[in-house]
Structure 1
């Protein structure tokens, strides 16, 4: 009998109804519910983007989880955790918040349609904020499903800086690419910003000095156990890159393909494990 991944951690970039509808926001909303209805235990995280209406969506701070400072490039950034419920789905959503990175600021683009200069730092803060919060929850996911560029640094940190943490020691990681990406590079200071524990700029040595968006995705794939792509033709180069590293790829999938995702979680989870 196939071993099943029973606990799935969703680290998504977007989710309806909190932000405007998109391919990724639909997946962020629908897939966790579908997987939960299949009898799996889930936790779901997203950034507390500045365009989220806290009052209308009934977000409230979780004091016992907030209060930690994350140091990025020698600067302290307080971590604030909020939570809301989607009653119809019997699903809680945790939000990662910080005044510097999210307050009165939109998603990837500002009011004038320009990408924020510190998007790479925001992604670092989000990745580390989620992992620290899951540790505090004392929850041990079998599979971590990362969706979109905002989650792209989670695989790196799980497989390096957090590899000995009981919450993540045995976790497998699935990374989902999205049609919504970034045009700017990660910037010349990216190597300093990602530094944490045993992670430093050396993990970027195979990439260009400023690390392009495509290279960010390759970095995520390098530390993942599975890759999903919504359109094989559009993401063919990344699918082939993953396959060249013996990383399984689930192709041409959408939020509606919950059965395919569930089977893929089980496949990735079972890799390298003996069935006792």
Structure 2
């Protein structure tokens, strides 16, 4: 029987132990799904102050000196499990002066001044942890800028590139969101221990700065991102943010793989936050959820009037500005509208503008700018449609959850929204939602009008809801795709020898 594939995932976050959002959710979900694929998968993350309490955490290596970087001195390694029910080992790198802080990366809308030092240390420590625990993976899978130096260290530092235990390791680097490139002043590069010869435009230099993310893109054996469409988009000047040329050079090694979702917390059959649980076979119970959210929001209970929800972080790229510009046009349509902030972070400028929007259309609009998990579930179950007019979206999960609730997405065709939603066709009866291309008020409102026409035809709408609720974006597909990519990379390495 062949030995199982060995994969070490390295990331700044992994849910449920510690997570700020999409990155941690993705890393934790992928790890558990790879384990179900019979892969020997393990994780390395920093040991933050805000890690959830775990009785299973043990101090594994009390003191480790980083032999490749004298400036960092000693550290320690702890071991835990990702969840109690699934045996996915997690190794936690301890360094109190770097990670024993209130925030992971810095206060809201700010970053710690020493993030280059913090995550430079973490990258070296993660690699040296392999030696300490005696686990040399076939693949080291790095996620986002925080781990971008690992592929560079493997390729350029003799302590790794010439070590027979490290040299065979292949690296995969996943970009979750190109907005965060890990850019730091030039001088920070010369503290990393990387050879000066790679500080060039073809290497890790990025417009006079040093980019962790670019290091990963240039030196990893394989690249991936979180949807096929986003992978194509970031090779263009519109979305590439100055890095499109680097992606174009690596296009043959670059893959788009949709992130999966864990449906258990977002399943209308068992969701404890909603008034009435339901399936695609008893959708009439969804009307009870609609009455409940309307009552909760103090809105007129016109069940026949379409209810449109929007659940989004208060960031400009998530379409808040387009929503605000489109408010008057939207309110000329026969709809009711509820906005819910999807993160604990609150943008005060947008909060004020959303408040003005609600005041101007008090009868049919409610805006909740403080995060509320229960309300989010109530809107997913009670709304008829979910609006996602995003400027950009690498993957997105709200549209996938909405499908499961039979709540129809109306999305801008960008990134993962384009990949996961198929346009509904009245002629064929196929499709799961509605998409518009232009980032304009006219495009948004015209697509809402099209959706309302279908909504008025009850048999067609019920067909669309059934289509939506059959869609499946569980982690199993994502894990199988990554397993195929890992094996392809390893086989390619054998062919080259």
> What's the TM-score, normalizing by structure 2?
0.49
> Among residues 217, 222, 228, which one is paired with 1:221 in the alignment?
217
Deviations 1:89-142, CA, capped at 9 Å, x for gaps: 1111111110111112421123x5410111111111111111111012222211
- Give secondary structure in 2 for the equivalent of 1:179: coil
> Which residue does the alignment assign to 1:13?
12
**Residues 158 and 73 (structure 1), Cα distance of their counterparts in 2 relative to 1, 3 Å cut:** closer
- Give secondary structure in 1 for the equivalent of 2:10: strand
> Which residue does the alignment assign to 2:130?
134
| Structure 2 alignment gaps of length 5 or more | 261-474
Higher helix share: 2
> Which residue does the alignment assign to 1:79?
75
> Which residue does the alignment assign to 2:170?
172
> Which residue does the alignment assign to 1:46?
45
> Among residues 101, 104, 109, which one is paired with 1:107 in the alignment?
104
- Give secondary structure in 1 for the equivalent of 2:485: helix
Report if the CA contact (8 A) 2:9-2:41 is conserved: yes
Greater displacement, 122-131 / 233-242: 233-242
Find the aligned partners of 1:224 and 1:188 in 2 and give their Cα distance. Answer: 22
Query: Is the counterpart of residue 119 in structure 1 residue 115 in structure 2?
Result: yes
1:78 positional shift: 2.2
1:58 positional shift: 4.3
> Which residue does the alignment assign to 2:58?
60
1:74 positional shift: 6.3
Greater displacement, 129-138 / 75-84: 75-84
Report if the CA contact (8 A) 1:156-1:220 is conserved: yes
> Which residue does the alignment assign to 2:145?
149
- Give secondary structure in 2 for the equivalent of 1:232: helix
Deviations 1:200-259, CA, capped at 9 Å, x for gaps: 3331122247525xx432221211111111132553345763452465111142142111
Q: Which has the larger radius of gyration?
A: 2
Deviating 4+ runs (over 6 angstroms): 71-74
> Which residue does the alignment assign to 1:263?
484
**Residues 149 and 208 (structure 1), Cα distance of their counterparts in 2 relative to 1, 3 Å cut:** closer
Q: How does 1:200-219 map to 2 (within 5 A)?
A: 200-206=195-201, 207-208=205-206, 211=209, 215-219=211-215
1:29 positional shift: 0.8
Report if the CA contact (8 A) 1:120-1:186 is conserved: yes
**Residues 235 and 75 (structure 1), Cα distance of their counterparts in 2 relative to 1, 3 Å cut:** same
Kindly tell me the number of residue pairs found equivalent between the two proteins: 265
Report if the CA contact (8 A) 1:13-1:149 is conserved: no
Query: Is the counterpart of residue 90 in structure 1 residue 87 in structure 2?
Result: yes
**Residues 36 and 192 (structure 1), Cα distance of their counterparts in 2 relative to 1, 3 Å cut:** same
| Structure 1 alignment gaps of length 5 or more | none
Taking only aligned residues, the RMSD between alpha carbons, in angstroms, comes to 2.9
Report if the CA contact (8 A) 1:5-1:265 is conserved: no
Find the aligned partners of 2:222 and 2:126 in 1 and give their Cα distance. Answer: 20
1:269 positional shift: 1.3
**Residues 180 and 249 (structure 1), Cα distance of their counterparts in 2 relative to 1, 3 Å cut:** closer
1:36 positional shift: 1.8
Report if the CA contact (8 A) 1:8-1:142 is conserved: yes
> What's the TM-score, normalizing by structure 1?
0.84
Deviations 1:133-165, CA, capped at 9 Å, x for gaps: 101222221111001211111001111221122
Greater displacement, 247-256 / 72-81: 72-81
- Give secondary structure in 2 for the equivalent of 1:273: helix
> Which residue does the alignment assign to 1:35?
34
**Residues 183 and 254 (structure 1), Cα distance of their counterparts in 2 relative to 1, 3 Å cut:** closer
Q: How does 1:224-263 map to 2 (within 5 A)?
A: 224-230=220-226, 231-236=230-235, 237=240, 241-245=246-250, 247-255=252-260, 256=475, 257-263=478-484
